[in-house]
A and B are shown apart, each in its own frame.
Chain A
Amino acid sequence: MKARVHVTLKPAVLDPQGSAIKNALEQLGFSGVGDVRQGKLIEIELNQSDDQAAKAEIEAMCKALLVNEVIETYRLELES
C-alpha cells in the first residue's frame, strides 16, 4: 500500500514561505486569499496489507525522522 504523510508547521510557528506565496497570489490578482501555509508531502510505498500495522509503522517513522514535533505536525493517509 501507499502511505502519504502531510507535514505542516504548527499553527504557532511563523511560515515566511507561506506569507510570500500569499503576497504573490495577491499580486497576481487573486482576491480573498487568507492565510497561506506551506508544508510537504512524503509518499511511502509499504509492503504491508494491514491498515493498523501500516499506521503504527508510519507513526513510528514520523517520530523517528519524518516529523520534528517541536515545530511540525502531520496527517496520515493510507491508500491500498
Chain B
Amino acid sequence: MKSAVIVFPGSNCDRDVQVALRQSMGSEPTMVWHKDSELPKVDLIVLPGGFSYGDYLRVGAMSARSPAMRATVEAAEKGVSVIGICNGFQILTEAKLLPGALTRNRDLKFHCRDVYLRVETSQSLFTSRYEEGQCLRLPVANHDGCYVTDDEGRRRLEDQGQIAFRYCDAEGAVRPEANLNGSISNIAGIFNETKTVLGLMPHPERLSDPALGGNDGRALFDGLVEAFN
C-alpha cells in the first residue's frame, strides 16, 4: 500500500498517523504540505487531526479550499481512498466529500478522553478487520464533534449503510447517554456512498500500539494494508 498524509498549518496528529501507518505498512507514508497541488500516486490519502488554520471561519473551512485538498477531491472522485480523522472529518464535510457538518459539542466543552464505539459494518476497506457490533475504545479530542444532518440525510446514511461507527457504552450498547456531543443517531463516523471515503471523530492512530495504552485502532490500518497489498 502507498499512502500520503496531508499536513496543514495547525495539524497536530500528522506524526501520530505517520507512525501508525509505518507500523502497519512497513514503509513510509509520503507527507504532503497543504500548498502542494499535486499528490503522489497513492492508494490512501489521510487527512490528520488538529486545528488547521486555527479553525478560522468554521472548522475545516479553510483547509477544504487548499491546493492539496483540491487534488484530494479529484483523487477521491477517481476512487482513491481517503480517511479523515477528527479535523480531517471536518475537512471532508467542508469539501463535500462527505455529507452533513460538524458543529460545537452540545455541552460546549472540549472533550479529551477515551470513548466507546460500535462498529456498524465490517463491509468496508476501513473496517474489514473488525466485526460488526464490535466495541472499540478510542480517544476523542475535539470541541466540534457534533455531527449534524437533516432527517433526509440521516435516512440516506442509514438506508445505504454509510454509518461506520456510533458512540456506545462500554458494553457496546448505543444509548443516548453514550452520545457525548449531541451527534445525530450517535454518529461517530460515516462513509461516502461508495465507502471509499471515511470520516471519524475518534483517533484510531492514537491507540494503535499496546505501549500507548490500547490497540483498538490498529486493525483499521492493518485492514487497509491488507486490502491494498
| Contact (Cβ within 8 A) A14 B101 | no
Q: Could you give, for residues 84-123 of chain B, a 1 whenever the CB lies within 8 Å of some chain A CB and a 0 otherwise?
A: 0000000001100001110111111000000000000000
B61 at the interface (CB under 8 A from A): yes
Q: Which residue of B lies closest to A20 (CB)?
A: B108
B217 at the binding interface (Cβ < 8 Å): no
A17-B93 in contact (CB<8A): no
Q: Does any Cβ of B come within 8 Å of A70's Cβ?
A: yes
B65 within 8 A of A: yes
B148 touches A71 (CB 8 A): yes
Q: Which of A13, A17, A70 has the most CB of B within 10 A?
A: A70
**Once the chains are docked, how many angstroms separate the CA of A16 from the CA of B105?**
8
Does B149 belong to the interface (CB within 8 Å)? yes
A12 to B105, CA, bound (A): 16
Please tell me if B139 contacts chain A, counting CB pairs below 8 Å: no
The distance in angstroms between the C-alpha atoms of A12 and B99, with both chains bound, is 17
B106–A65 CB distance below 8 A:
no
**Contacting residues, chain A, for B93 (C-beta < 8 A):** 70
B54-70 residues with Cβ-Cβ distance < 8 A to A are 57-58, 61, 65
Contact B149 A70 (CB under 8 A): yes
Interface positions, chain A 25-80, Cβ under 8 Å from B, are: 64-66, 68, 70-71
Interface SS of B by simple majority: loop
Report whether B148 and A13 are in contact in the complex, using a CB–CB cutoff of 8 Å: yes
Is residue B225 contacting chain A, with contact meaning CB distance below 8 A?
no
Contact call B61/A70, Cβ cutoff below 8 A: no
Q: How far is A46 from B106 in the complex, measured between Cα atoms in Å?
A: 37
From B57, B93, B99, B149, residue with most partner A Cβ within 10 Å:
B57
* A interface residues with partner B (beta carbon < 8 Å): 9, 12-14, 16-17, 20, 64-66, 68, 70-71
Task: A77 to B61: give the CA distance in the assembly, Å.
Answer: 23
Q: Which among B93, B104, B107 has the greatest number of chain A C-beta atoms within 10 A?
A: B104
Task: Indicate if the CB atoms of A68 and B101 lie closer than 8 Å.
Answer: yes
6 A-B pairs with CB atoms under 8 Å apart are A9-B103, A14-B148, A16-B105, A16-B106, A65-B65, A70-B100
B221 to chain A, nearest CB (A): 30
What's the minimum C-beta distance from A79 to chain B, rounded to whole angstroms?
22
- B199 interface hit (Cβ, 8 Å): no
Residues in A with CB closer than 8 Å to B159 are none
- B106: nearest chain-A partner, CB-CB: A16
Cβ of B182 under 8 Å from chain A: yes
Q: Are A17 and B57 in contact (CB under 8 A)?
A: no
B146 at interface by CB-CB < 8 Å: yes
A68 lies within 8 A of B58 (CB): yes
